[in-house]
Amino acid sequence: MNVPIASIIGEDSNLISKVELYISCRSLINMDTFSKSDPFTVVYMRDNSSSAWVEILRTETIDDNLNPDFTKQVLLDYHFEKIQELKFDVYDSDSNSRDLSSHDFIGSVSTNLARIMGSSGASFSSPLHLPNNPQVRGKIIIRGEEVHANQDILSFKLSARNLDRKDWFGWGRSDPFVSFFRSREDGTFVKVWESEHIMKDLNPMWKSATVSVQVLCNGDIDRPLKIQVSDWNSNGSHDLIGEVISSVRALQPNKEFSLTHPEIKKKKGHKYVDSGILKVDYLKTEKRFSLLDFVRGGMEMNLMIAVVSQLYFKSNGS
């Protein structure tokens, strides 16, 4: 559900900047008996005119995970002179229904956008509670950053070979998937994309994907990008196979990266080589231009205005 933010805070507000929020949770209370919770977050903004909470976004659901990092970002216009109240409700998904009463409510926190962006490193954290209940039911972390304009689209296809074995009870193979983590100004990383997992394959070829450059690096193609390959587990406790620190600029067709597992490397010392090879099989950047880009490039625009007059005829007896 995407609601125009201007309709909530008012059209007369002066736009200061566009910001994005990424949401994580830690140590969520488990709502399921035989597995872990399947959390998702619903984000609300308070309507300044009616004081009602208006849903502006729902994250994806992450199965069997009490420490989720949601990749779906919240994009907001940050109006410096207005108080933009936000509420984050975390649920345990129990069905495919959009009716929230069909899911278990884990907890909630209310704050405002200025408080998030004004926190140290623009990273706000708070315990989750039920209304009028002091019991802590987990923690939510909301990381904000100003969005820099870049509409380019990156299409790519990845594969790997000779990955380390993690599942000794699954024919000695792993169920690998890839995650991209974008670095932030405070040196931390936030997950921004994740592939599908491939069952029992040490030489996987993942599906083609398309992601905006803004999401991957906020328009800075030299910004550090952490790429992790992990072994998927149904209980949500995924095992790291290996990782590499790179950048969007360094992602080139046929480029190969050695994956390193820091703990295994420390343990094996000079005997350690790598935990597998990640390869960029295909990559293409598609430039996307805004109307302002065309105008700056010299495009001429003609404006035509038409005034239509409507005549109303009144018949006898009407």
Alpha carbons 80 and 57: distance in angstroms, whole number: 21
Band of pLDDT at residue 284, cut at 50, 70 and 90: very high
Name the token pair of 114. 């200025």
Tens digits of per-residue pLDDT, 187-219? 899 999 999 999 999 999 999 999 999 999 998
Tens digits of per-residue pLDDT, 5-58? 555 545 444 556 889 999 999 999 999 888 899 999 999 999 988 999 999 999
- Boundary residue ending a domain (126, 146, 166): 146
Same domain flag for 50 and 112: yes
The larger pLDDT score, comparing residue 289 to residue 268, is at 268
**E strands, the chain, in order:** 17-26, 39-46, 53-58, 74-78, 85-92, 104-112, 123-127, 139-146, 153-161, 176-183, 189-194, 209-212, 225-231, 239-246, 256-258, 277-286
Same domain flag for 157 and 284: yes
Same domain flag for 133 and 179: no
Alpha carbons 72 and 168: distance in angstroms, whole number: 33
Report yes or no on 110 lying in a domain: yes
Same domain flag for 99 and 177: no
Report yes or no on 305 lying in a domain: no
- Boundary residue ending a domain (129, 146, 163): 146
pTM: 0.73
Report yes or no on 42 lying in a domain: yes
DSSP string of 39-101, one letter each residue = EEEEEEEE-TTT--EEEEEE----TT-SS-B----EEEEE-TTS--EEEEEEEE--SS-S-GG
Alpha carbons 217 and 65: distance in angstroms, whole number: 26
Same domain flag for 115 and 77: yes
Same domain flag for 98 and 211: no
For the chain, how many structural domains are there in total? 2
Same domain flag for 9 and 131: yes
Same domain flag for 96 and 181: no
Same domain flag for 98 and 169: no
* pLDDT recorded at residue 14: 52
Band of pLDDT at residue 302, cut at 50, 70 and 90: low
Instruction: Give the domain extent around 112.
Output: 5-146
Question: Nearest to residue 164, comparing CAs of 91, 233, 239, 268?
Answer: 239
Provide φ and ψ at 307, rounded to 5°.
-110, 120
Same domain flag for 33 and 158: no
- Boundary residue ending a domain (146, 162, 197): 146
CATH number where 244 lies: 2.60.40.150
